[in-house]
Amino acid sequence: MTDTQHPIAIGLHGGCGVMAQADLPEAEWTAARADIAVALRAGWDLLCRGASAVDAVEACVVVLEDSPHFNAGHGAALNRDGVHELDAAIMDGASAAAGAVCAAQAIRNPVRAARALMRQGVPMMLAGPAADRFAASVGLALEGQEYFTTPRRLAALRTMRERRAAGTASGATEAEKHGTVGAVALDQDGHLAAATSTGGYTDKPEGRIGDSPVIGAGTYARDGVCAVSCTGQGEFFIRQVAAHEIGARMRYLGENLDTATRTMIETELAPHGIGAGLIAIDRYGRIAAPFNTEGMFRGWMLPDGTMFVATHR
């Protein structure tokens, strides 16, 4: 706990598309957990210095975008044409300001472009080449497509193409298909923020956009209530307006964070039979991270400075 008026806290997820523990050497799990800890520290250190929740979630997500272990930025999924199309969003719970980019192909850190759009105000969201040009115009780093590609993502694309040809794509695991990163934070002024970034799902059609950059679906923050970042098959999160719905359940039904988030994952999304998870924080700095898959990359630092990091159940 800091000696300021409000507690500070931060949480993140690295996607619910987590492989079985036996499918990767322990050294890789260790490296992924280490990057989660680095991301948490990046955001926590800013909060301790009095920075905003928006600053903290951006810094946290940038670390995850730079890591090869997560489906965002470097290490993002490939679409059906073997191209990386990147989505990201960020939202300030204090002002309801937000920014988002969709289907970008060259922005090294899409969450930074989303933040730049949030500062600008209008437009709030840009897609495709326009998003890349905007990032360049404000001095953000651009990369060639090869920067985002990793051997694991190439192997996943081969597997999904084979499954599609064999008619078994629906049987693919979450680890083969999906992945997202996201962060939520509470700052010393009591403000909340959320950010999410993703490469979408492996073998997705060109131009497909999921819930991550859609404000209220995969990313949402409202001061005094909660901040939420979601992970899973985005089409269903969009239909449920999932992140906003959690806040609405808390505001209008009086549900606490744990009940509202679990209801979304275990009840509202359950009929769709999808892998789903999220990270959320309330105005007291309490964290919720429900998921229905074998695992979800996740971690948080609570107001007393305690850090928790995990990959599987």
Model confidence over 100-128: pLDDT tens digits? Answer: 999 999 999 999 999 999 999 999 999 99
Domain tally, the chain = 1
Report the predicted TM-score, pTM, of the whole model to 2 decimal places. 0.95
Residue 4, in any domain of the structure: no
180 is catalytic: yes
Residue 99, in any domain of the structure: yes
Contact by Cβ (8 Å): 196, 59 = no
Judged against a pLDDT cut of 50, whether residue 1 lies above it is answered with no
The residue type at 254: G
CATH number, domain with residue 235: 3.60.20.30
What is the SS3 assignment for 265? helix
Residue 170, in any domain of the structure: yes
Helical (H) or strand (E) element with 76: none
Residue range(s) defining the domain that contains residue 218: 9-312
Residue 3, in any domain of the structure: no
Burial of 252 (0-12, 13-18, 19+ CB in 10 A): exposed
Residue 2, in any domain of the structure: no
Model confidence over 255-295: pLDDT tens digits? Answer: 999 999 999 999 999 999 999 999 999 999 999 999 999 89
Model confidence over 134-157: pLDDT tens digits? Answer: 999 999 999 999 999 999 899 999
What integer pLDDT is reported at residue 2 of this predicted model?
42
Measured CA to CA, the distance from residue 184 to residue 195 in angstroms comes to: 7
Residue 29, in any domain of the structure: yes
Residue 1, in any domain of the structure: no
What integer pLDDT is reported at residue 179 of this predicted model?
83
Measured CA to CA, the distance from residue 232 to residue 292 in angstroms comes to: 10
Measured CA to CA, the distance from residue 164 to residue 112 in angstroms comes to: 34
Annotated catalytic residue within 149, 180, 202, 263: 180
Residue 28, in any domain of the structure: yes
